[in-house]
């Protein structure tokens, strides 16, 4: 149940976006730009980052939806669980471990980031554009986690499956239809 009487009992993020349709449309467009535009990081890898950030933040709705989306793209769901439980022992290779360590630090203690953190990612084989793209995913989902939690949006597993599959198949732009004036 949402915290807002204007939202349905089974509210999702799209319902909260509709409370301010111009802002909602801008958010959907940002999702498309960050999550689906060409990048060294595949759409599935960006969904993994989104699910990881959401798991670190304990955002039930975003973690649920984006875990399913990542899984639908082919990401092993057990990997995500291991990453949240113990990133260092998750089984990620060195290149991915460096990037996800940066993602974790940016999510949990951004003011403690130093140049050496970025240099470690670059030294592992990522370029600055890939790091930038990962940072954009982290920023977007820290925002969205607070957006969902602030509205009291929790969701259920059936919603996570439906939304996750829809995001994999159609991306984010179909949400614009629900936000038309």
Per-residue pLDDT reduced to its tens digit, 94-117 = 999 999 999 999 999 999 999 999
Which residues touch 162 (CB under 8 Å, ≥6 apart)? none
The band of 1, judged by pLDDT with boundaries at 50, 70 and 90, is: confident
Concatenated DSSP letters of 108-151? HHGGG--HHHHHHHHHTT--HHHHHHHHHHHHHHHHHHHHHHHT
Residue 5 domain-assigned (yes or no): no
Report if residue 121 sits inside a domain: yes
Any domain includes 4? no
Is pLDDT above 90 for 9?
A: no
* pLDDT at site 17: 97
Distance between CA atoms of 91 and 167, rounded to whole angstroms? Answer: 27
pLDDT at 77: 93
Q: Which two tokens stand for residue 124?
A: 């592992």
Residues with Cβ < 8 Å from 102, sequence gap 6 or more? 113, 117, 118, 120, 121, 131, 134
Tell whether 159 is covered by a domain. yes
**Rounded to two decimals, what is the model's pTM?**
0.96
SS3 at position 154: coil
In a domain, 51, yes or no: yes
Give the per-residue pLDDT at 10: 86
Neighbours of 82 (CB within 10 A): 15
Q: In angstroms, rounded to a whole number, what is the distance separating the alpha carbons of residues 161 and 143?
A: 22
At 149-159, the pLDDT tens digits run 999 999 999 99
CATH number (domain holding residue 118): 1.20.1290.10
User: Does the residue 36 lie in any domain?
Assistant: yes
Tally of domains within the chain:
1
The answer as to whether 17 is a domain residue is yes
- Domain with 155, as residue range(s), is 13-178
Task: Quote the pLDDT of residue 118.
Answer: 99
- On whether residue 28 sits in a domain, the answer given is yes
- Residue 36: half-sphere exposure toward Cβ, Cα within 13 Å: 13
Q: What is the percent of the chain with per-residue pLDDT over 70, rounded to a whole number?
A: 100
Contact 121/102 with Cβ under 8 angstroms?
Answer: yes
Q: pLDDT band at 5, cuts 50/70/90?
A: very high
């Amino acid at each position: 149940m949402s915290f807002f009487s204007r939202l349905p009992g089974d509210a999702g993020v799209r319902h909260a976006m509709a409370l301010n349709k111009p802002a909602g449309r801008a958010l959907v467009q940002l999702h498309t730009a960050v999550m689906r535009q060409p990048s060294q990081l595949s759409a599935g890898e960006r969904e993994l980052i989104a699910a990881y950030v959401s798991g670190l933040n304990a955002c039930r709705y975003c973690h649920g939806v984006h875990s399913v989306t990542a899984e639908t793209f082919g990401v092993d769901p057990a990997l995500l669980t291991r990453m949240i439980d113990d990133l260092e022992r998750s089984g990620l290779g060195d290149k991915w471990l460096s990037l996800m360590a940066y993602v974790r630090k940016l999510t949990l203690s951004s003011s403690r980031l130093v140049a050496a953190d970025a240099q470690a990612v670059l030294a592992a084989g990522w370029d600055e554009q890939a790091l930038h793209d990962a940072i954009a995913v982290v920023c977007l989902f820290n925002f969205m986690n607070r957006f969902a939690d602030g509205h009291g949006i929790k969701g259920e597993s059936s919603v996570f499956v439906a939304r996750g599959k829809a995001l994999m198949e159609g991306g984010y732009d179909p949400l614009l239809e629900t936000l038309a004036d």
